[in-house]
Structure 1
Amino acid sequence: MTSREPLLSVEDLTLKVRVGGAEWAALEHLSFDVGYGEARGLVGESGSGKSLTLRAILGLLPPNAVITSGRMQFDGDEFDLARQGKQERRRLERLRGAGISMIFQEPSVALNPVIPVGEQIVDAVMRRDGMRRAAARDYAIHLMELVGIHDAEQKVDAYPFELSGGLKQRVMIAAAVAGKPKLILCDEPTTALDVTVQQQILSLFTHLRDELDAGLLYVTHDLAVVAQLCDSVTVLYSGNVMEGSTDLRAVFERPQHPYTEARLRSTPDIDRIGRRLYSIPGSAPSLADRPVGCPFAPRCEHRQDDCEITRVPDTSSIDGREVHCLHPVGSATGQIELAEEARGPSSRCFSAPTWW
């Protein structure tokens, strides 16, 4: 296998959800890659399909969710995500823990409240690696120390309610890396933490990625987190890819999709305190009320008549940039490009914020 081949490649992932006897598209034709040792951000507001994407990769979907199309390549192995047979499900199950692990948003829900946290790591290690209990306990303590838990020999016997939110999340990370996975799926793991602990956890992810040479697929709505942690980005809206690139800086400094540009404009910047914070008008459509054309068209300042009736084409450039838009920012409209030259107080251009 050459270094140019991605660790994870998801192609044409389409997923529908059954609600009240009806079937609605929740994800439509998603495609993206994650390289070895690469961190890719999966960005979008609530309801965009970020968490569903992670669960589809691991085969952990709710009963009312059905994948109608989609292929996945992981570390050289091919998977048909739309197949429902036992053999394919078992192949996905074998990936969990050793090949691909997942860190959930709320550790208080993911951890069993009546079992010591160390035991929850020990049991997983014993089942997966066949270690004896004493060796597995020593390994659990080592992992807890690795993720920055002080006094791990005492905390290994603590129950989840005895630990802070930050410590519980570190326990979840320790459990996730126990099998030395090649890919870690992160479902907004710092959302419930205060900013100081969040910074510590993000630094920990950077350390673990370098230590394990593992890929990260990091789900978040926070562009500041993406800027700090990730190398590449895929922007989701209403179950569709709006924009993506292997070069994060290119997207942040010169967004081409109006939704990406609007998200960046609505991000606080401490260097521009006097600026009125931009707010994207309207709200994302429900599953039952998706537009015929571009899903962002009803909220887009640059929309034209064809945006509301034409399905968005897939456009890619040779530098790894993809934009799903009929009228990308800076080409058909030219408004952002002109504003960038003016840089006046009313300019709507985006300049890289201080957290970059």
Structure 2
Amino acid sequence: MRSEMTSAGPLLEIDDLTLKLQVGGAELTALEHVSFSLGYGEARGLVGESGSGKSLTLRAILGLLPPNAVVTSGRMVFDGAEFDLAHGSKADARRLERLRGTGISMIFQEPSVALNPVIPVGEQIVDAVMRRDHLRRSQARDYAIHLMKLVGIHDAEHKVDAYEFELSGGLKQRVMIAAAVAGKPKLILCDEPTTALDVTVQRQILSLFTHLRDELDAGLLYVTHDLAVVAQLCDSITVLYSGNVMESSAELGSVFDDPGHPYTEALLRSTPDVDRIGRRLYSIPGSAPSLSDRPLGCPFAPRCEYRQDDCEQARVPDTSTVEGREVHCRHPVGHESGRVQLAKEAR
């Protein structure tokens, strides 16, 4: 695992991303002041419960947002090139479009939706290869077979002519990965690509991601709600809740060993631990707020067992004093008398 920066800075930087959704005449905030960075060759986990804004963040990066989404603020720097996500020019839009599938690619959660059912899967990889390298179709087909072998598809010479409905879930996801890396991207966005797979296939796919990251020196931004996946694959982590960054760190281990935000601690307590089989699994009380009923201050405050009166006031600033880490909490875990022991017991 590694996290590399060049002298010019990170591979990807997202700064102050705020996104609103127009629903039934109302404008609802879905992402608020989201910021993080990703180094060359780094894998960062983007973690949170359903509805936390993880997938919207990926789509904002690609410029593939739903029609009712409006970015009101946000700046992106990718490989040294700057994009204004809120007020981007037509030139910015064209530059971002050229990056899709080449500089930046995306692997979706459900390959059956992303793959065209009436075109052989190999042809869908061939199209991606031809767009980038301007090869003849026969050359592109040979390269597509090479990519299918690279992602662990046996008998690729025959599978290249198969249709998606003829393949298992694991094979379809491997085809999606082959298509995603066909353009030799510097950044791969992963939207929970192993959620629908069984545990054995999931482990194989995660190992494949590690191999491809090393092979391509590509950055991975991996969306998931599963902290076990993050522990296996990622170097760094950003925890989202209700469209807000709760905690973020360039060092994954620092968050797993010593979570600063009560929400991060609650997620860790909710994760099964095979080394502590007798431990009763923790369940976070309540549910995440709807977009139309967001608390004024910390969005997690209504569910937080450490909540105090000032938690529900203004937006919570970054209270971390460690470089490379953010903790948006007025009363971080373990920082007050009476809470250290509870945090230790939870782990």
The alignment's TM-score, normalised by the length of structure 1, stands at 0.94
In 1: Cα distance, 2:64 partner to 2:30 partner: 15
Q: Secondary structure at the match of 1:271?
A: coil
Aligned to 1:268: 272
Could you tell me which residue of structure 2 aligns to residue 338 of structure 1? 341
| Alpha-carbon offset, residue 3 of structure 1 | 4.3
Letter of the aligned partner of 2:214 in structure 1? D
Residues 43-72 of structure 1, C-alpha deviations (whole Å, 9 max, x = no match)? 000000000000000000000001000000
What is the aligned partner in structure 1 of residue 156 from structure 2?
Answer: 152
1:168 aligns with 2:211: no
What pairs with 1:106-121 in structure 2 (closer than 5 Å)?
A: 106-121=110-125
Partner of 2:249: 245
1:221 equivalent in structure 2: 225
Given that 2:121 and 2:160 are in contact with CA atoms closer than 8 Å, whether structure 1 keeps it comes out as: yes
* Residue type at the aligned position of 1:189: P
Listed one character per residue, the Cα deviations across residues 166-222 of structure 1 (whole Å, up to 9, x for unaligned) are 000000000000011000000000000000000000000000000000000000000
User: Are 2:8 and 2:80, in contact at CA under 8 Å, matched by a contact in 1?
Assistant: no
What is the root-mean-square deviation in Å for CA atoms of aligned residues?
1.3
Structure-2 separation of matches of 1:333 and 1:204: 45
Find the counterpart in structure 2 of residue 122 from structure 1. Answer: 126
Deviation at 1:4, TM superposition (A): 6.6
* Percent identical residues: 82
Structure 1 runs not aligned, ≥5 long = 351-356
- Choose which of 145, 151, 154 in structure 2 pairs with 1:141: 145
SS in 2 for 1:79: strand
- CA–CA distance in 1 between the matches of 2:292 and 2:61? 24
Kindly state the Cα deviation for residue 270 of structure 1 after the two structures are TM-superposed: 1.7
CA offset digits 1:128-148 (Å, max 9, x no partner): 321110000000000000000
Taking the aligned partners of 2:61 and 2:115, their CA distance within structure 1 comes to 22
Match of 1:62 among 61, 66, 87: 66
Q: Which amino acid aligns with 1:241?
A: V
- In the aligned structure 1, how far is the partner of 2:102 from the partner of 2:69? 25
Structure 2: distance between partners of 1:254 and 1:163 = 43
Partner of 2:86: 82
Change (3 A) 1:17 1:333: farther
Distance 1:81 1:14 in 2: 9
* Matching residue within 298, 307, 311 for 1:303: 307
Task: Render the CA deviation track for 1:87-120: whole Å, top value 9, x for unaligned.
Answer: 2211110111110100000000000000000001
Aligned residues: 343
Q: Are the equivalent residues in 2 in contact too, given 1:302–1:333 (CA < 8 A)? A: no
Q: Deviations over 1:12-66 (max 9, x none)?
A: 0000000001000000000000000000000000000000000000000000001
Distance in 2, matches of 1:315 and 1:100, equals 33
TM-score, normalization by structure 2: 0.96
Task: Flag structure 2 segments of 5+ consecutive residues without an equivalent.
Answer: none
Return the alpha-carbon distance in structure 1 between the equivalents of residues 226 and 184 of structure 2.
Answer: 27
Letter in 1 for 2:192: E
